[in-house]
Amino acid sequence: MERVAKYFGWLYPLLLALIILAVAYKFGFNSKVKYFDKVLDGSITFSSIVVGFLGALLGILISIRDSSIVKAIFETNEKKTLKLYFQETFIIGFAVVIFSCTMHVMRDESSVVTDWLFTAWILVAAWFIPSTYRIVSILMSVFFSSNISIDRPQGNKTEDPQTREQMRKNLTRYKE
């Protein structure tokens, strides 16, 4: 059962995209829809922002590499899964931008190529959203659980006068 859940976790963005593609064709959504150029502009903007955001999150993940939860992830086979999720989202995000730009140029043409490009555009755009959600939700769970500590920090109360004086000197703004 665990294996089925893992495969479903890998495949659900593509499965959801195929369902959205089928629904779009059932309702007659095509490249001749009014204001489709605005949809293309929005998809370019959205996917560009998300790819940049994921790049920044990847940098943060690398910077907290020494935290216990990130070490635990990198010591398991889940490192490969995380890498796969990142690569998938980056590649699909770039594909959305490329297909959207191509559709801008080709949307007024009536040809089989335009129809295939439109189908590919719907597929990658619909695939990109759940793929992005998956990687962002994983990263957010890593970030918000990476520094959780159940131990109470040790206080700075001390009875020893020498230690107390040393602490006061260390905290003084201007050294004597």
Mean pLDDT, the chain cut into blocks of 10 residues (176 residues total): 75 91 89 87 94 86 74 71 88 94 86 89 94 86 62 62 79 65
Q: How far apart are CA 24 and CA 131, in angstroms?
A: 19
Q: How far apart are CA 65 and CA 50, in angstroms?
A: 22
Record the pTM: 0.72
Whether 75 contacts 114, CB under 8 Å: no
SS3 139: helix
pLDDT at 170: 76
Those residues whose C-beta lies under 8 Å from the C-beta of residue 73, and which sit 6 or more positions away, are 79, 82, 142
pLDDT at 64: 75
Neighbours of 85 (CB within 10 A): 22
Strand locations in 48-114, DSSP E?
A: none
The DSSP symbol for 154 reads P
Neighbours of 144 (CB within 10 A): 10
